[in-house]
Structure 1
Amino acid sequence: MNRALLPHTFSSHDWPPRVSLGDAGEQLNSLAARSVDLVVCSPPYNIGKIYERQHKLSFNEYLRWQEEIIEKLSAVIKQGGSVCWQVGNHIKDGVLTPLDIPFYGLFVKHGFVLRNRIIWRFNFGRNSDRRFSGRYESVLWFTLGDGYKFNLDPIRVPQLYPGKRHSKNKGANAGRPSGNPKGKNPSDYWEFSAERDFLENPVWDIPNVKAGHPEKTEHPCQFPIELAERCVLGLSDPGDFVLDPFVGTGSTLIAAAKHGRRGVGFEKEAAFADIANRRIEALCRGELPMRPSGTPVRRPGATEKVAKIPDEWRSNDQPAGDNNDGREE
């Protein structure tokens, strides 16, 4: 039997997390009210990807469909539960619409409170010759009411100035170290794992999943495990129930399983759902290829072929091997 063909009823006690084949709107009806602790999701952007072509929607139709999903999420999430909704841009006929703008209004309309708008920056993205190339997307962190979980310690980054101390006019704290010995809050600008930033600055650096990435599958818009992992660690506890209604190849559930959370994901494309369940199974066997969290983003050395300017680009007065300022494009 295809690993994705699972019963359409789910228990919040199930572990490891699993993926069910089917439409997100329909399958959300099978979840018990107030049963979900955390949603981590990157929904379709309605820009014509392979998994969107059978159901072409106008932009307004797309937003109405997404509002139906959000309304159903508001019924299954616990009071105090969190949603991390990762979105980019909708682009049509050269017109760009940042999706976090309409999604903010849709979530607020259904009782959610925005706690952070997080910027995820990556090195490679959509190139353009009519506007600046896109190199970031947004993660909107909403909660359903107050009393939400925020576990800062598991996601702290090292202090930039560990030796910094309070000034002499700080009363009882005068002269004492001003930072937390466990590290500092990583802020709302995420550049996961670049060594110069992760170790020295309050930012996180996660490369997006492109060719050569150990997690790459055939999915065209794959979600990096490490991005979901930060949300899982910071906004849920071991044993909590995690949901991804548009799970793709399973990165959210892999992050959940890796850290002892339960959960379920929904995916309407059978090929992707099967890949997701096989990846979760591989994780449980200790065999899943993953980019280790906290490892530096690789930069090509000056002598590597990909770092050298091609002969076709070199001007008559530019010496061979001159790579301008060395920054990646």
Structure 2
Amino acid sequence: MSRLPSGCIDLSFTSPPYNIGKEYESVLPLADYLDWCEKWISELHRLSGPEGAFVLNVGYVSVAGRARSIPIPYLLWDRIPFFLQQEIVWNYGAGVAAKKVLSPRNEKLLWYVKDEGKYCFNLDDIRDPNVAYPNQKKNGKLRCNTLGKNPSDVWQIAKVTSGRGRASKERTPHPAQFPTDLCQRVLRGFSNVDALVLDPFLGSGSSADAAVRNSRFAIGFEIRGDYCDVAAERLHAAELQVSSLLI
């Protein structure tokens, strides 16, 4: 990121390692992990344009003697230079079953903007067409937007599942893959066509795949060569599909 010019990015969207021992990360002491997060997030702030946004998906971590599961953004709230516009709850059906606590079925998306008074928000592009009474009128006028309703700050989007007989069609070898539907809603809602989108933890390439399919440009970084190969294959397939639609 240090090699990119300041103010060049319209939207940063990423999910960094959660520091919980996944195959692609080395666990750090919590204080060191938070310092590391502050460092790369500050660099994203430098890269963001004047109307730029940053959408962060990050999970939970245990704090000995204090919390079994605390959202990581709560530990970073005063270290992030962006303005926190809204917290989005990503709710999904599949997940870990639990016996002594409620089964976890959500993660957080933190929507940050660089300027609280001027930012991109394309509500019409992400409206939910599932309206209970789409033709309801008041004083002869439709009460509902014909494009649908505001999807609210709770997004019910299926997780990418694995396992015989239940794996998602878009499943790749990456163990923590973004669903394409989630990426597309973020990109359509918080960036414009031809925007430049950055994902500094690209993983399997879901964010870049969604960018190609939605007329955005993408930059991504990934240190694992095998994940880079997966992302390259997905981007090639996306480019072929988009090209076929343009013919």
How far residue 175 of structure 1 moved from its aligned partner, in angstroms, is 4.3
Distance 2:150 2:72 in 1: 26
What residue is the counterpart of 2:75 in the other structure? 102
Specify every segment of 5 or more residues in structure 1 that has no aligned partner in the other structure, as ranges. Answer: 1-27, 167-173, 192-204, 288-329
- Matched with 2:222 is 267
The count of corresponding residues between Structure 1 and Structure 2 is: 235
Counterpart for residue 209 of structure 2 = 254
Find the partner of 1:244 among 199, 210, 231: 199
The aligned residue for residue 181 of structure 1 is 146
Aligned CA distance change for structure 1 residues 92 and 133 (closer, same or farther; 3 Å): farther
Unaligned residue ranges in structure 2 (runs of 5+): 243-247
1:147-193 Cα offsets, whole Å, 9 max, x none, are 11111111111232223333xxxxxxx442222122111111001xx
TM alignment of 1:16-55, pairs within 5 A: 28-52=1-25, 55=26
Query: How big is the shift at 1:244?
Result: 0.4
* Equivalent position SS for 2:221: strand
Cα distance in 2 for residues equivalent to 1:155 and 1:44: 28
Structure 2 counterparts to residues 204-283 of structure 1, below 5 A: 205-211=157-163, 212-283=167-238
Matches of 2:200 and 2:41, distance apart in 1: 10
Q: 1:190 aligns with which of 155, 170, 180?
A: 155
Q: Distance in 1 between matches of 2:63 and 2:83?
A: 30
User: 2:204, 2:230 within 8 Å by CA — same for their partners in 1?
Assistant: yes
Identical residues among aligned pairs (%): 35
Contact 1:209–1:223 (CA under 8 A) maintained in structure 2: no
Q: CA deviation at 1:92?
A: 6.3
Following the alignment from structure 2 to structure 1, what is the Cα–Cα distance between the partners of residues 216 and 10?
10
Provide the aligned C-alpha RMSD in A: 1.7
Give the SS at the match of 1:117. Answer: strand
CA contact (8 A) 2:122 2:188 kept: yes
- Please report how far the alpha carbon of residue 206 of structure 1 lies from its aligned counterpart in structure 2 after TM superposition: 2.7
Aligned partners of 2:27, 2:149: CA distance in 1, in Å?
A: 45
Q: Conserved in 2, the CA contact under 8 Å of 1:38 and 1:81? A: yes
Residue aligning to 2:109 = 139
State the alpha-carbon separation in 2 of the partners of residues 68 and 281 from structure 1: 32
- Please give the alpha-carbon distance, in whole angstroms, between the structure 1 residues aligned to 2:240 and 2:63: 43
Partner of 1:81: 52
How far is 1:209 from its partner? 3.5
AA at the equivalent of 1:242 = V
Note if 1:162 corresponds to 2:134.
yes
What do the CA deviations read for 1:267-315 (whole angstroms, capped 9, x no partner)? 111111121112111211239xxxxxxxxxxxxxxxxxxxxxxxxxxxx
What is the 5 A alignment of 1:275-314?
275-286=230-241
**1:143: how far off?**
0.4
1: CA distance, partners of 2:113 / 2:230: 30
2:98 paired residue number:
128
Give the TM-score, by structure 1 length: 0.68
Whether the aligned pair in 2 keeps the contact of 1:122 and 1:208 (CA below 8 Å) is no
Structure-2 change in CA distance of 1:77 and 1:285 (3 Å): same
What corresponds to 1:148 in structure 2? 119
Aligned counterparts of 1:269 and 1:36: Cα–Cα separation in 2: 23
Change (3 A) 1:71 1:248: same
Comparing both chains, which one has the higher relative contact order based on Cα–Cα distances under 8 Å and sequence gaps of 6 or more? 1
Give the whole-Å Cα distance in 2 for the aligned partners of 1:91 and 1:176.
52
**Structure 1 counterpart of 2:162, which letter?**
K
Aligned-partner residue type, residue 251 of structure 1: S
Whether the 8 Å contact between 1:43 and 1:246 is mirrored in structure 2 is yes
